[in-house]
Structure 1
Amino acid sequence: MRILKYLFLLIGLLFIGVTVYIATQKGDFRVKQSAVIHTPRGVVFDYVNDYMNWETFGSWMTKEHGITFTYPAKTMGAGAQFNWDNGSDNGHMKTYFVKENDSIKQRGSFNGTTADVYWTLKDTIGGTKVTLEARGKMDLLTKISTFFSGGFSSIANDAFEKSLRNLDKTLTYEMKTYSIKVNGIVQRNSGFCLKQTVTCRINSLPRNIKIMMPKMLHFFKKNGLSMSGKPFILYERYDRANDIVTFSVCAPTREEIFITSGSEITSGAIVPFTCLKTTLTGDYSHLKEAWTKAENYIRDNGYTPNFAGKYSEVYIKTIDDVKQPSQWITEIHIPVFPKAVPASPTVTNTTVENTAQPAVTTPTTVTP
């Protein structure tokens, strides 16, 4: 019995000693990892800048099952944020500074441990050199929980390395895997929608769409509204000569909804028209190629564009449906005039009657 008492006392003293040792260690940490991502810098920046994409490459997210992610209306750019929770662990991340295609500064917390996170992007041979760095301070529980696993810095370094590797793998495959199909002539039906219209430079169009679309979806959710179809973009004006585009982010509704004055969101009507439908399956970076293919099809097949109509992009499947960009589906609708149906030849039916009356000619009508 006495030996057991001494043994328990020794274990207790050892535990206290280890705890005191861990507690007296510096809580400050700095972790830094770099990797070459084999994708152009602008594409890497846009992907990292949007928290909605982090589930596809964050090592602490992809390896965990049962994590719940919560996203507000703004998920990219300065002021963007999101939360995650899997029951035992929880975290929060917010973006404080963004320099386009160059750097991002964020602040995150994980079970009480906070850190400033820095992303730096530089052009290099073969792609983009991405540097991910975190500086912060551990609380006591984090010191203790990570001590027996090699320390917090070792764990964080491993997580950063895996995340950058996942980012390269994701972008290399997901961004380069796509298909474009010209479906043919279809009819767009009439209806109602809510929309937000802005004018900007053409090169700012993709970024503004990424900002405005989540806001529109958040508006529907906040007000308990239901969409009667998929969200879409209407191009009101596309002026290449003056580098100006006016477009509307739209969401279809079952009935006309009136919005109080002063709101950025307004009511609108969907005008029916005949159009050429082209489908892009893949990331939005291939939209330019899809538009070009659709326009070439119109020219090569003798269709006439209907400039009185409005060009549109319909987002059939987005990041809200599936995280992998290679599986996103976007339809392009270009208004065209239907081809004239050739007049049918006249068929003469001659009927000879006993009264010897003149023959009667009856035309056969062919419905297009």
Structure 2
Amino acid sequence: MSLRNKLVLGILSLLGIVSLGYFILWPADYIIRFQAPALPGTINQTLKIWSSANPNAKEIEQEGSMLSLRQEFQFADSTHVYQWSLDQVHDSLTNVKVYINDPRHSISNRLSTLFYSDTDLKKRAKKTVLDFYAKLVEHKNSFKVEIIGEVEMPTTYTAYIESKSKQYSKAAQMMRQLPLLEGFVVENGIELKGYPFIEITKWDRAHDSIHLRFGYPVVRNEKLIVHPEIKYKRFFGKKALKAIFNGNYINSDRAWYALLNYAEKNGIEVEETPIEIFHNNPNYGGNSMRWKAEIFLPIKEKE
């Protein structure tokens, strides 16, 4: 074989390897990278809520950890698959990668990319991701979380209602139960001893579901009325991490992620059973940035 033929064969082999990598092994038709000014937990929850309101979004699934999500969009005859990957940089910055594929038109999309700088897939992907980013920034500016650190929670006696809910529906669930709880307290002359609270007894982060207790601290006495839906319990004081949340209580779970992040950074083992104490009544309206909630994450007791 002549030198020229060897050279041609070598070039063709190299092109074959590159083509194999690009058309078969490359992970996506298009990849978008950006930095988001939020913790992964905030991005995760905002992405799910944004997806539920997007008319083109079919479904979104969390794949194992909250750092990986798979999302589908339907655009005309194409189903676009977005694979979101989150990598935290520090307390207020996360690197985000979005791997975008159109399984039915993957080869044609990759061929078009070789000859055109801006394909239809790229235009659609950029518009979609920019729309999410704008929503994320708007959301991030609607609340504030301040980490206080380790505190001792006091012992209290409580009257509460137990229920189950999706994480994003906890505030709505609380408002549904408020008339029953407040009416029962007023009608029976039960003396309150503090602000309303919720205690999360189970938090399934993979499915965004929670078991919660919504109630009030009350003065204990022997004449407390029995009710089929309202229970009583002594809450024993314990050590916990504390944060102050300002904003709409719909989003107060963003402080849960901030406390988890603080615990991990400082090597503190915690129970994933947050407690929230609400200082304001949303029914009175006003600027939600002035609403205050104390958020606690119990510290695991050493054996």
Q: Give the TM-score normalised by the residue count of structure 2.
A: 0.49
Q: Which has the bigger relative contact order, CA under 8 A and spacing at least 6?
A: 2
Q: Which has the larger radius of gyration?
A: 1
Instruction: Select the structure that is richer in helix.
Output: 2
